[in-house]
Structure 1
């Protein structure tokens, strides 16, 4: 059995912020063998949608659009002006999705990344309800454009609101809108999920996007990630979306500082992308899983 998936890579692996000139990466991404380019929109005004659309068409790449939620983009803030700022930004990203032919917009859009505090249950409930109310508005905006949203849990050091698949499913249930779906990130899952396979099963058919890297944000296949658990979970839910490498370049200091990458994680960013894709294709074929099963079976027989 093999996974029927597409493979993507984030432009954050090479640059930040994404702007129109970053379409120069598309030829390399296509040549490596990727199907999808993941475009993180930090500043919508930096993107000439027409030129990006033409480049996507030229290289036969499909787009996935992700959001960046800094301090000023916080749907749980006590000041409604922050909600307005966030909704305006999200609307711009949804317009980019529509204009580029991306079927969804994903990211941790419920609150600002890095908002991780110890607060009272009463305050947590207030902020949760703000997220629900505002994300229902986002879902309505998305549906008006024929889109969905993929809500991404973050690890405990980056969010105190939504950390696990269980959390995000509860959030989606409370939003109660068909446009609300799940985007999972393996880096955060490796920190927060006791069982990767169970987390994927819990997301089930609501899972529309999966980002991966190694447990240390490095090249897939070089760390401690339980790729067998990912394979079983994705097989069980018959996932046919994208598996996309998301990591970051240490060469852009502001970005590297934000995600705490203090040194290179691979010989080069190109080798990161190229070798990571080679591993993911072997993994998705199921051959490594079968090989490991044979090794385990033989070891058990010897015992």
Structure 2
């Protein structure tokens, strides 16, 4: 398993669960200094990142790009994939594809989380789910061109009513005609929704494509009451070899949150410094 840390460039999300906020250059350099393997970036849109500059920063630091989030599509641009308006849904899918294109150039995945939307008003649950599946089909096919999966994240009940558990996520993915979508299992959301986090990861099995490595209170690993032994054992049992990515509040500050996470990563995975 490999280490990863989140960098946010979205001012509208300041105060949210992203660890580093000092821009790409400083954040990537700091992540490299601490020994991380990769970064996950939350950007306002593809136009906010110069791919050549990002490539130079990553190469200089010896880091990989693990993933790009699409959440700014909702947080900043108010686009979501279950919108009652067909035109807005198309705009949302186009935004996702634009992130896929940017990430794909680095061999990285795009993540759909908050953009999945919810059933409400004129959009009933069955219709909202159909819209989501349509978008996952579209994004999975777009990502396949780069040889990477699209990553889909079940969220807790307070953020969506589309899909809240790993088992429900597996059911959605198995219903698709594309086999190029994988699940992001976020330990914070799972702590709310799953009866047994380790058992849920085993249920996810081959569909588990990315992990948000965070504690029960959304602080860095080791700052809440999450029990990580069974979680790491479950990941090993499904032969997970992807990223454990810190998507956590920058508590007590970004630099200490980053340090605490890499210490915890090394402890739980047995990775040397």
Global fold match (TM > 0.5): yes
- Maintained 8 Å contact 2:198/2:230: yes
Q: CA deviation at 1:219?
A: 1.9
> Which of 81, 84, 89 is the equivalent residue of 1:83?
89
Alignment pair present for 1:23 and 2:29: no
Residue in 2 that maps onto 1:293: none
Deviation string 1:121-170 (CA, Å, 9 cap, x unpaired) is x9111111111122211111111232211110100000011101011111
TM-score (norm: length of structure 1):
0.80
Using the TM superposition, give the Cα deviation of residue 41 of structure 1 relative to its aligned residue in structure 2, in angstroms: 2.6
Aligned to 2:116: 111
Q: Deviations over 1:215-246 (max 9, x none)?
A: 11112112110212211210110111110111
Work out which of the two has the higher radius of gyration on C-alpha atoms and give 1 or 2. 1
* Distance in 2 between residues matched to 1:246 and 1:155, nearest whole Å: 15
Q: Aligned pair 1:6/2:10, yes or no?
A: no
Q: Check the 8 A contact 1:197/1:233 in 2, yes or no.
A: yes
Residue of structure 2 equivalent to 1:70: 74
| Runs of 4 or more consecutive aligned structure 1 residues displaced over 3 Å after TM superposition | none
May I ask how many residue pairs the two structures share in their alignment? 257
Secondary structure class of the residue paired with 1:13: coil
- The 1-side partners of 2:246 and 2:182 are apart by 20
Other-structure match for 2:14: none
Q: Distance in 1 between matches of 2:58 and 2:24?
A: 12
Conserved? CA contact 2:100–2:139, under 8 Å: no
Gaps spanning 5+ residues in structure 1: where? 250-264, 287-303
Provide the C-alpha distance between the structure 2 equivalents of 1:176 and 1:234, rounded to a whole number of angstroms.
26
* 5+ long unaligned stretches in structure 2: 8-17
Distance 1:148 1:109 in 2: 18
Instruction: Give 1:210 shift.
Output: 0.3
* Cα deviation, residue 50, structure 1: 0.7
What per-residue deviation string (whole Å, max 9, x for no partner) do you get for residues 80-135 of structure 1? 11211111111111111122232x222326623xx475x79x91111111111222
Q: Deviations over 1:234-267 (max 9, x none)?
A: 0110111110111244xxxxxxxxxxxxxxx32x
Which shows bigger deviation, 37-46 or 64-73?
64-73
After superposition, the CA RMSD in angstroms is 2.0
Partner secondary structure for residue 100 of structure 1: coil
